[in-house]
Structure formats: structure tokens, C-alpha cells
A and B are shown apart, each in its own frame.
Chain A
Amino acid sequence: MYVAVKGGERAIDNAHRLLAHERRGDPAIAEIAPEQIAGQLTLAVDRVMAEGSLYDPEIAAIAIKQARGDLIEAIFLVRAYRTTLPRFGCSQPVDTGAMQVVRRVSATYKDLPGGQVLGPTFDYTHRLIDFDLAGTTTPAAPAEAAAPLDPAPHVTALLDGEGLIESNPDRAAEPGDLTREPLAFPAGRDLRLQALARGDEGFLLALGYSTQRGYGRTHAFAGEIRIGDVEVEVFAEELGFAVPLGRLRVTECEMVNQFKGSATVPPQFTRGYGLTFGQLERKAMSMALVDRALRAEDLGEETGSPAQDQEFVLSHVDNVQATGFVEHLKLPHYVDFQAELGLVRQMRREQAAAQTEADGRAEADKPAEADDLAATAATLDREAAE
């Protein structure tokens, strides 16, 4: 006797109870605190803040804990929280040139004003598992510079001073916001950069990589990568001047790309730009490569590679959208599947009937079939001879 499936509600409640239990893990081991995540898994927190589009290390840390370390799930939690927050307005542009850098490297000059500052980087570490980390460690205190660092002007500003690179566009009106207005194509660079800044690191990495391998090559040099803290200010209408809101850590990458020029315009390098919350060098560099690739059409270059195709890139860069739609395939689809099953069964029946009919005819027309075979054989002979 068949009874229709019921009890979805209880199944869901029980699944969530089990999930909470699994998240906690062995109760004999101390529970991880958000402060530990925010303090020791900072790069995970940075990624969740960047792609979650919300600068709040505490919320990001809780999200990572709640998501059991699944960063895309944590990003989703932060996004869903962010969307409930009121929007007060648009800040003044942050002045990354005045950044207090903790790291700043340029690949285009050996030395430059402000110097090369390696900072806290995995670069030049040997990727050997450090078995000491199985226990507790007490790293040495960081080395201190004898004097404060010199100001570090942008590398691109040095080039711009000589007219060697295209100037940054003038500060336009307030930039668009794709979380408030649905994206329409073609999208301007402001909206493209916003989409990339919120976009999936892995997707951008692969796209940026593809430009290096010839799918929309941009001949990029890492003009500069800088990481540090910047001041955020909002213009207070009632006061008539900008007031500081606080500081946040960002990573900025300015790529210097192959030049443009014409009979009338002298050749100049072009720009690709990446900026992220936190310390996310890989993301910022990938973003800068993709930003430049997406400018191909505006710069009159040949297009056709995936990274140059804004409808393709912007429609697929968001991992919260992507994971939702990919994972929705596990929802029940049996109504549609039933429709397909019905059609396939019907077409198989019809084909079988047609086959039976054809077999019947063939039985009656045996000599004709022999002629066909002979003709086929003749064709094959001719093809072999050519």
C-alpha cells in the first residue's frame, strides 16, 4: 500500500539539528571563537568581507564559524545580512596614494619613491608544512623600521607625470550600484569594477590567467601592488566638509598594460585596476587583469575572448548567484522529468513501430536493398581511390 511522502517539516528541523551538532564537532575540544577566526584566519575573513561586500570582520568571522569554514556559504550569509542594512550614501573616494602601506611592491621599477616594502607575504616562503604549527607557537616580534616610511606615490602617477600612461578618468558623478539597480548591458566601468570586486576569486583568477595565455592578451606589468589602511570619509551636507568614518584595510593593484596610440595621439600605456577589502593580492591582481580585458572594446581592440566579454563575465562572476543556481539542481524536478520521460517513451515506441514497418517493407523489397548495397560499395571504392 502506498502512502504519499509527508513530514518535510520534521525532516528539515532534524537536518538543521544535525547540522548544528556537526558544526560544533567534538565537544571535548574547545569551541572556536569568532575572535580566533578574525585574528588568526584573517585572509579567510578578508575574502568573506570582499565578496560579501561588507567590511565587518566580526560578522565575517561569525559567518565563517556558522558556515563550518565553507567560505562561499559564509559570503552568502554576509550578503543576506548586508541586504537588510540601510544605505546612507556614498563615501568620498578613498585616497590610496595616502595609504599607510604594510606592503608595496612594483614589478616595473627596481626602486622608486617610497621603496619596495615586502610586508607580510607568502612570497619567497618555501611551501613546506611547518610541523611546529601542530602545537602552539610564539613567533618573534616583527622587525621595526628605524624611521617612518617615506610617502609612496602611485607608480602610475609617476608615469602619468610624463604622459606615458592614460590618465585616470575624471571623477564622474556618483558611481552606480548594482545592488540597487539591475545591471543593464553594456555596463560602464564603475559597475564592472563593482561586480569584479564582489566577484568570485577563483573565477577571476581563471579569467585573468586566460588573458595571460592568449585569450585576450593585455601584456600586463604589475605596476604596483599595495596593501594598507585607508581613511573613509563621507561628505556631511550640514557641515559642509567631509568627516572621517574610520579606517579599513584594502589591497590595490594597478596593472600597466600595452600601449595605445594613433597617428594623432602619441602612444601611451593603458590601465587595469583592482581594489579589494582586506589583504587579497591574488584577487586584486586578477581583477586588474580582467578589468583591462573588459576595456578591449572601448579601446578599439579585437575582442572575442571570454575575459573580454562583459555579458559573459558579469553574468557569471557572482558566486552567490552561481552556487544557488548550480545547487538548485538538487531540488526536486520530478514533474519536468516526468514530462521528459513521457516524451522519450513515446518517441521510442514510435521509432520501434517505424522500424517494424520498415523491416516489413524490406522483406518485400529484397532485390532493391541488394542494389543499394552495391551502390554503397561502389561509392566506397571511389572514395578509396581518390
Chain B
Amino acid sequence: MTAAAYNFAYLDEQTKRMIRRAILKAIAIPGYQVPFASREMPMPYGWGTGGVQVTASILGRDDVLKVIDQGSDDTTNAVSIRKFFQKTAGVATTTATAEATVIQTRHRIPETPLQAGQVLVYQVPIPEPLRFLEPRETETRKMHALAEYGLMHVKLYEDIARHGHIATTYAYPVMVAGRYLMDPSPTPKFDNPKMHRSAALQLFGAGREKRIYAVPPHTEVVSLDFEDHPFEVNRFEQPCALCGAEGVYLDEVVLDDRGGRMFVCSDTDHCETRQAAGHRGTMASPIAAGEGGRRAD
């Protein structure tokens, strides 16, 4: 069988309809995990099959797709997923956040604020925020039905008692529109505030666990906290070494085995755009800066 034998965006129309219906219900019940008959995809479970099925179901010929993993367009899995849609849907792709209509992501939310009309599709490994506190689906479903989330508060408070901090740094639980406790996928909690009242539609796909959920635009997304321990995002002590950006999420790059390291933007598009605009960090290469910037492929 050749690529030509597959349908537009790979999935057959019946599967797309089933996923589309699940997406509509997910949007109507913000934060609630809608079960869906996830299909076996030609990439492994745990590698973005949920996000890929959501993207394949919403994508049209006029869309411009951006795919990131760890904030970067160039990580191998992002490259692989982008290629999959180039091949099966023939859509235009971009690395520029502002140019994309659909952005599929694993583990990050772009630094550039998202706009109305954009859709952010998250790849989700474990959609159930209560799963590590209660492994049984029958039990966690009851807790969501009754909005009974005491267990999560107890867990976070135990963290504070033991460590002096809430020891959750990513996949930090949020309340959506004041009703459903939701897992934001394993994004660092640094990104949680970006979900709050975002202008973009946020869709979450968990393929192996067969769940789809959503946060419509302009929706309250509140990270759980306590009065005496308010939610705080991780801070970095220095700006990006390449573009000088502050208040962005940084990757730590180990330079040698003698403790040498540098910190650079995790969002590569944001970093390149800033360098192209003339921003410089302490370790920026003058040559790299000249050819930096957007790359449409």
C-alpha cells in the first residue's frame, strides 16, 4: 500500500467523524475527558497518537501546521509528526508560531501569545490528573462526577509538609471553568498561566488512554494552590544566552564535564525571531544571528 492509498490526513472519514463529535462535546464541557475510540496509528502509543488523531481530524487544506516537542520544531519526534502530515495531508507547515493555524505540541506552550482562531493541540500521556493518587478509572470517574477533589489538595499539602514546597513542577493540576480538575499534560508549570483565558482553542488528545478534552478560548484555568502557599512559576536566574530573553522557559545545555553550562530558550522559534530582530545574549554567535529567524518548510 502506498501513501496515495490513504485518506486525506490518514484517518478514514468515519474515524474523523467519531473524533470530531468527541471534540465538540469536549469543548462544550471544558476540562471533562471525553472517551473516544482511539485508533492504532502508524506511530507508537505514547509518542503523540492522541495529538495526531486530533490534528488529523481538524486539519483542512488551508491550514498551516506547526509541530513542536520540548518547545522546538527540530526535535526528532516533532520532525517525524510534521513529516507525517506533509505526506498524508499535504498541508503547509511553518515554524513560526504567529503564522500557524494549528500547533501540535508536546510539553510546551509557545512563548508568543496565541491569537484568536489558532488551535493548540496537546499530546497527552496520562489525561487523568488523579491517576497517580487513585489508579482505578471507576473511582476517579466518580470523583469527577461529584467534583470531589479533596484527594488532590491533600496530596499537594503533604508535599508542603514534607518538602516545604508543592513538589509538582510539570503536569501541575488546574481547575477549568471552576468545575473540572484537569491535567495540562506534562508542560512545566511555568506554562500554566498561558492557558488561563488564552485567546486560542486548546485541545488535548490522549491516544493510548482514549480521551479527548478541551479548553475553549477565554476560559478560566486556575492552578491549584493554598492561601499560605500561592502558585508560583519557576524562575530562571539569567536570560537566554542566545537572544537575551527574560521571563521565558530555558533549557540547560551542558557544555563540558567541568560544570560549564548555558541556558537557552526552549522555544526555538521565539529565540530565532528575537535574534533576527537583533537581540543578543551573552553567547550569541554573530553568524548564527545573521541567518536566524523563520524557516518555512
Interface residues of A (CB under 8 A from B): 1-9, 11-12, 76, 79-84, 86, 179-186, 311-312, 315, 320-321, 323-328, 331-336, 338-343, 346-347, 350
Contacts and interface: CB of A to CB of B under 8 A. Distances in A.
A324 B46 contact: yes
Contact of A335 (B77, B107, B137): B107
Contacts of B69: 331-332
B116 interface: no
A334 B251 contact: yes
Given A328-B46, A331-B47, A340-B169, A8 B35 contact: no
Contacts of A335: 70-71, 107-108, 170, 187-188, 249, 251, 266
B79 A2 contact: no
A186 B251 CA distance: 44
A5 B74 contact: yes
B12 interface: yes
A182 B70 CA distance: 29
The 10 tightest CB contacts between A and B, nearest first, are: A324-B45, A328-B46, A324-B44, A339-B169, A325-B46, A182-B35, A8-B79, A339-B188, A324-B46, A336-B170
A9 B39 CA distance: 26
B12 A4 contact: no
A315 B210 CA distance: 11
Nearest to A10: B79
B208 interface: yes
Interface in B145-188: 163-165, 167, 169-171, 186-188
A185 B137 contact: yes
A184 B41 CA distance: 21
A153 to B, nearest CB: 38
A327 B83 CA distance: 21
B82 to A, nearest CB: 9
Interface string B36-52: 11111110111101000
A17 to B, nearest CB: 15
A12 B78 CA distance: 11
A180 B266 CA distance: 38
A46 B241 CA distance: 56
B2 interface: no
B285 A343 contact: no
B125 A347 contact: no
21 contacts: A1-B285, A2-B242, A4-B268, A8-B76, A9-B79, A76-B44, A81-B1, A182-B35, A186-B138, A311-B135, A311-B138, A332-B76, A335-B107, A335-B170, A336-B170, A336-B186, A338-B250, A339-B189, A340-B169, A343-B169, A347-B164
A12 B79 contact: yes
B264 interface: yes
B79 A336 contact: no
Most A CB contacts (10 A, CB to CB) among B78, B170, B255 go to B170
A184 B35 contact: yes
B253 interface: yes
A83 B18 CA distance: 14
Given A1-B285, A335-B70, A8 B40 contact: no
Contacts of B283: 1-2
A380 to B, nearest CB: 27
Interface in B45-86: 45-47, 49, 69-72, 74-80, 83
Most A CB contacts (10 A, CB to CB) among B44, B79, B250, B271 go to B44
Given A332-B75, A347-B164, A4 B264 contact: yes
Contact of A321 (B36, B75, B208): B208
B258 interface: no
B76 A12 contact: yes
A183 B208 CA distance: 12
Contacts of B188: 335-336, 338-339
A84 B14 CA distance: 11
B234 interface: yes
B38 A182 contact: yes
Given A324-B46, A325-B208, A332-B70, A339 B36 contact: no
A54 to B, nearest CB: 11
B252 A341 contact: yes
A350 to B, nearest CB: 7
Nearest to A351: B164
B41 A80 contact: yes
B180 to A, nearest CB: 18
B288 interface: yes
